[in-house]
Structure 1
Amino acid sequence: MAVSRELPDFTALVAENGPAVVNISTKQTLSAAPSMRGFSLPELPDDSPLQDFFRHFFGEDGELPDDSIQSRSLGSGFIVSSDGYVLTNSHVVESADEIIVRTSDRREFVAKLIGTDKRSDIALLKVDGDGLPTARIGSSKDLLVGEWVLAIGSPFGFESSATAGIVSAKGRSLPSENYVPFIQTDVAINPGNSGGPLFNLDGEVIGVNSQIYSRTGGFMGLSFAIPIDVAMDVFNQLKTKGRVSRGWLGVLIQDVTRELAESFGMPQPRGALVAQVLPGSPAEAAGLQAGDVILSYNGRDVVTSSTLPPLVGETPVDAEASLRVLRRGEKVDLRVKIEELPDDEQVSSSAPGAPEEPSNRLGLVVRDLTSEQRQQMGIAMGGILVEAVDPGPADDAGLTPGDVILMLDNQLVENVAGFKRILDAIEPGRSVAVLVQRGEGRMFYAIKVPKS
């Protein structure tokens, strides 16, 4: 028999924590277009009908103002220390000339921007004040899916608005940011809520509301919050040194699909598949290879590829980390010295060149790469160019003309002859992994070798 439970009462939580939540308004002055600066009223006869028209836009002196546009935005935040440190989103205060923090008792402060971190979308502000009400900081590590949570903020400028819901999922990786394991909720979040706190039923902040998924611009049941553990790490770094450093491994990774798992002899899909090891990276120094599947990092299971970046990012720079990888069916333990994540990670591109005979088994027309092509594509050795894809297994797997095949069945492809030799040795009916470079990235594809 199901046990009935009462819905939670949020009144005490709102009364206790509301004073620590602030409204943030920003002002940005946008200059007039350079082509319009210095433009003055043309000389016209006094009785010209255009006189009134030009004076309406240019004023009596006939000069266009240099700074003619004021941009304003609204957001939320919360006070984390009684001496005036405030957390909010980076996108709330981006490019602002003036930041005003307004408390629930109608006091206003001009805030100083201490620092921002775009990768986590966290910004730290400082206002002059003593004895300010502060939010109690909790931890997002023990948060459970299905748990009740409450948001307080200023949606559409309506200050001190409270909305409630449950945790829908944890550890979400969004396309815009791989280093934040977002908390997904169904709490109603709208423009103006950004930067506000997400509370648990104990009245502790467990997240910072950051963004929503919407096809209309309004709330559609999918909200994402930055875990408070991530936000407080950023807070401490911005407060002490004004910038944020993150750990860097130096690999391009992808999920292990069911077909790829079969090709690697894995009972089920799991881990992060290494598609490329960046030159000069900690991963290269540690001996990681393309085709390795990272199963654990510092003893913590890597369930999907999105699990890995936050784990690496939170690792202190110059610290050693342990990796367990699956390499050609064998588990291998590696040690890697983590370096600081660089501002930009670039990978090279690809280009074409005289076709060879198609592979009858996969339906590929391939050819060798010239040394000049390898240099242009950043390929140290080996690789063959896909000239055409006929209907068949390769086409079904998603290979396209212009792809460069670097590995087949965990073996480096040196040239067309080597590719055919590897392919001929694969028993019919088996799925194999193919490492492909396409454009600026590398990815594994699973191809099922036909039986006839």
Structure 2
Amino acid sequence: MVWRALRPAFALWIWLAIGLAPLAAQPATEDTEDLLQKAMKAAVARVAPSVVQIETSGGSDILGSGPGMFRKGAGPTTGLVVAADGYVISSAFNFANKPSAIFIAVPGHKERHVAKVVSTDNTRMLTLLKIDAKGLPVPVAAPKKEFRVGQWSMALGRAWAGLDTPPSVTAGIVSALGRIWGKAIQTDAKVSPLNYGGPLVDLQGRVMGVLVPASPRGQDETAGVEWYDSGIGFAIPLEDINAVLPRLKEGQDLKKGLLGIYLKSTDIYSVAPEIASVGIDSAAAKAGIKAGDIIIELNGQAIVRQAQILHILGEKYEGDTVTVKVQRGKEELTFANVRLTGTLSAFIHAYFGVLPVRDDPELGEEIRYVFPKSPAEASGLKPGDRIMKVGLAGSPMQPFSGRDELTQLLDALQPGTELTLEIMRKGAKKPETVKVRLGVMSDEVPEDSLPEPATLKKALAPRKVAPRQGPPIQPGQPGPRPGRPQPGAPRAEEKKEQPKDEKKKAATGLLKRMTPARDHEYWLFVPEDYDPNIAHALLIWLHPAGKNKDKDTEAVLAAWEDLCSENHVIILCPRAESNAGWLGSEVDFVQQVARDVLAEYTIDRQRVIAHGLGIGGQMAYYLAFNARDLVRGAAPIGAALSNQPKDNAANQRLSFFIITGAKDPLAPAIQEGKAKLAEHKFPVVYRELAGSPQYLDAGTLQEMVRWLDSLDRQ
């Protein structure tokens, strides 16, 4: 193909704001270069009348906060005409600051037009605008079936170009299709906030899509803006926009279509999609889909991994229908015309009010602590009791393989469910049967030090596997399977026993390290009495701005040193590159070094938390919501929640310990964030300290340690 021969001859970023500059001589012929220049100029000229300039006034100057915070540019942005009678589409990013007025300048029109927002597509982050104009030029949409990876593409914008000159243009190729879970085209043409809302154009002058910031992690207007200037840009196919344009014109805000299932594993590429829980009043629940079902087909496409589900559902809107085929035990069941919803009731974790003794390889679970006024206390459960079997009231009870499997079973149940437990009292010779009605997950922190022992010190011992007995605990749920890893359990590579001669012991003390690429620095504190047979909690300390020096890290560790030894806690202290604080792009580095610690030491996956001050607290929030498979708690100090929290998830428990100062100017925003988290049914502890503390006082620090120690509550 011609583009393969030409690509080495051209820089991939080609600015065409004032016409294409002459290209350097390369092996390609001058005639071929001329042809490409002419084709690009003709393509731009064909689309240019439909590319409009958008200006706004009023609204906030700052978008987001913390690592994802940035200042919105004061200049114009870009839009694309999609209907002759005055409809213009643009990126929702351009209006994330909630401007009080919007103006649109159209090529060939002497005056700017006042625009109003008609509707927003919240799944593709597009906003439809309307101006009072007729006869606007509408571009031709390139058919999606003709898109090819490697074809030329041009990103157009009118941020700075006048209406009497061609739009600014950057050229590149289409580098991927079906990105952002099936919604977007990916291009390596340079895309920035200046041309968000502009078209991505092919060499025939047809519009392939509308440029937007996008990310597989985030869902708000600013998600993906951190990839600006990275060689990765995204566009929503215009063909898809035209398909929903009638609904947008009616003023209907479009929402993502939700099936309402929570999958057991966080591994989206190599694990079969088994359902952990089904949301109350969700599309799946109304159809009859149940916890334990394994999705084997969706809309006629065979499903073997979770990522396939995300791709298919990623394109769907509220009100769309899908056909789901599941395996339930030995049966295959088909659910046709399952109508997706746009919202879900917040997931609420069920709770009966105990803490388990950890690192116990035996069947069942020994109770370490019973929370006051909990369902467990009401049922007469006591510390030292061992839960041997569990089942729904009226159904046979089943044995289970320790804490993590019991937690998994509880995650599939709703508050109000009645369970029957077989327990063995300490010193008793015969088991007893008790009933307990599950309550709502508590945010209570034990008032006093928790009883010892917290651990049996057998984390590396082979775990006994409970035999499958009788029907499943949850209808439709296959029940425990021998040899199957359970959520929260250390992974196989994290449980390697030390050689018997112990020649190679884990490093302890204060360790200063670099990443393998030597591009980031971090500190690690491991208690000198570290025992690999004890699963330790992991605290990720995220320092505030201006506190990334050695002496700053040492000051925080001094407050924790004795507590780490007494409570089996390891502290990871990643270091931000900039003295100004954390960047959203550093999340990957923090996650990677945390996973390295998980592989090197015995870590309790249910007690991994992010803890930070100021912008470090913002990073703690960011990490908690963007590394759900890793982090189980966040403890921000003096930091406000910057975005709407993501939904609570059945198999990804997340708790918060929020601290602010009474005189902190951010206190109202911090309290507002706390309320949002509570609305989403996350357990939240909120503490307000006197003044504007730089760190925790002794009492609050001790309480936070007890909170960390109780994150594996059931």
Please give the TM-score of this superposition, normalised by the length of structure 2. Answer: 0.43
Shift of residue 89, structure 1, vs aligned partner: 1.2
The structure carrying a bigger strand percent of its residues is 1
Q: Aligned equivalents of 1:354 and 1:115: distance in 2?
A: 48
Q: Aligned equivalents of 1:334 and 1:84: distance in 2?
A: 42
RMSD: 4.7
> What is the percent sequence identity of the aligned residues?
26
Q: Does 1:443 align with 2:651?
A: yes
Give, as a single letter, the amino acid of the residue that structure 2 aligns with 1:240.
Answer: E
Q: Which residue does 2:141 correspond to in 1?
A: 137
Q: Aligned equivalents of 2:282 and 2:152: distance in 1?
A: 42
Relative to structure 1, is the Cα distance of residues 217 and 150 closer, same or farther in structure 2, using a 3 angstrom cutoff? Answer: closer
Q: Which residue does 1:222 correspond to in 2?
A: 232
Q: Does 1:423 align with 2:466?
A: yes
Q: Deviations over 1:150-209 (max 9, x none)?
A: 211135x35611112222223333xxxx7x623222110012111111123333222221
Shift of residue 288, structure 1, vs aligned partner: 2.0
SS at match of 2:76: strand
Q: Aligned equivalents of 1:317 and 1:30: distance in 2?
A: 30
Q: Which residue does 1:47 correspond to in 2?
A: none
Name whichever of 6-15 and 330-339 sits farther off. 330-339
Alignment gaps of 5+ in structure 2:
8-35, 62-71, 216-223, 379-390, 412-418, 424-432, 434-462, 470-480, 489-605, 607-631, 634-647, 653-714
Contact 1:254 1:305 in 2 (8 A): no
| Superposition map of 1:25-424 within 5 A | 25-28=55-58, 72=74, 74-94=76-96, 95-105=98-108, 107=110, 108-154=112-158, 157-158=160-161, 160-173=167-180, 181-211=183-213, 218-244=228-254, 247-253=257-263, 257=267, 269=270, 272-302=273-303, 304-309=305-310, 311-312=312-313, 321-328=322-329, 331-342=332-343, 344-349=344-349, 353=354, 355=356, 359-360=360-361, 367=367, 372=375, 404-406=407-409, 423-424=466-467
Relative to structure 1, is the Cα distance of residues 271 and 19 closer, same or farther in structure 2, using a 3 angstrom cutoff? Answer: farther
Contact 2:283 2:341 in 1 (8 A): no
Give, as a single letter, the amino acid of the residue that structure 1 aligns with 2:339.
Answer: I
Contact 2:85 2:133 in 1 (8 A): yes
Give, as a single letter, the amino acid of the residue that structure 1 aligns with 2:278.
Answer: V
Shift of residue 330, structure 1, vs aligned partner: 5.9
Name whichever of 430-439 and 105-114 sits farther off. 430-439
Contact 1:366 1:386 in 2 (8 A): no
Q: Aligned equivalents of 1:184 and 1:254: distance in 2?
A: 30
Contact 1:383 1:414 in 2 (8 A): no
SS at match of 1:10: helix
SS at match of 1:423: coil
Contact 1:270 1:304 in 2 (8 A): yes
Relative to structure 1, is the Cα distance of residues 171 and 305 closer, same or farther in structure 2, using a 3 angstrom cutoff? Answer: farther
Contact 2:53 2:106 in 1 (8 A): yes
Shift of residue 111, structure 1, vs aligned partner: 1.4
SS at match of 1:323: strand
Give, as a single letter, the amino acid of the residue that structure 2 aligns with 1:172.
Answer: R
Q: Aligned equivalents of 1:360 and 1:281: distance in 2?
A: 37
Shift of residue 278, structure 1, vs aligned partner: 0.7
Q: Which residue does 2:486 correspond to in 1?
A: 434
Q: Which residue does 1:39 correspond to in 2?
A: none
Relative to structure 1, is the Cα distance of residues 416 and 287 closer, same or farther in structure 2, using a 3 angstrom cutoff? Answer: farther
Contact 1:140 1:207 in 2 (8 A): no
Q: Deviations over 1:40-94 (max 9, x none)?
A: xxxxxxxxxxxxxxxxxxxxxxxxxxxxxx9945321111122221100122124
Give, as a single letter, the amino acid of the residue that structure 2 aligns with 1:249.
Answer: L
SS at match of 2:134: coil
Q: Aligned equivalents of 2:59 and 2:317: distance in 1?
A: 39
Contact 1:81 1:134 in 2 (8 A): yes
Contact 1:294 1:302 in 2 (8 A): yes
Q: Aligned equivalents of 1:431 and 1:325: distance in 2?
A: 23
Q: Which residue does 1:55 correspond to in 2?
A: none
Contact 2:296 2:327 in 1 (8 A): yes
Q: Aligned equivalents of 2:326 and 2:170: distance in 1?
A: 44
Q: Which residue does 2:52 correspond to in 1?
A: 22
Q: Aligned equivalents of 2:375 and 2:199: distance in 1?
A: 54
SS at match of 1:283: helix
Contact 1:282 1:336 in 2 (8 A): no
Alignment gaps of 5+ in structure 1:
32-69, 262-268, 389-398, 445-452
Q: Aligned equivalents of 2:228 and 2:314: distance in 1?
A: 31
Contact 2:361 2:464 in 1 (8 A): no
Relative to structure 1, is the Cα distance of residues 356 and 238 closer, same or farther in structure 2, using a 3 angstrom cutoff? Answer: same
Q: Aligned equivalents of 1:360 and 1:346: distance in 2?
A: 34
Contact 1:211 1:224 in 2 (8 A): yes
Q: Aligned equivalents of 2:73 and 2:290: distance in 1?
A: 49
Please give the TM-score of this superposition, normalised by the length of structure 1. Answer: 0.65
Contact 2:3 2:152 in 1 (8 A): no
Relative to structure 1, is the Cα distance of residues 147 and 30 closer, same or farther in structure 2, using a 3 angstrom cutoff? Answer: closer
Give, as a single letter, the amino acid of the residue that structure 2 aligns with 1:443.
Answer: N
SS at match of 1:120: coil
SS at match of 1:188: coil
Relative to structure 1, is the Cα distance of residues 321 and 121 closer, same or farther in structure 2, using a 3 angstrom cutoff? Answer: closer
Q: Aligned equivalents of 2:377 and 2:312: distance in 1?
A: 34
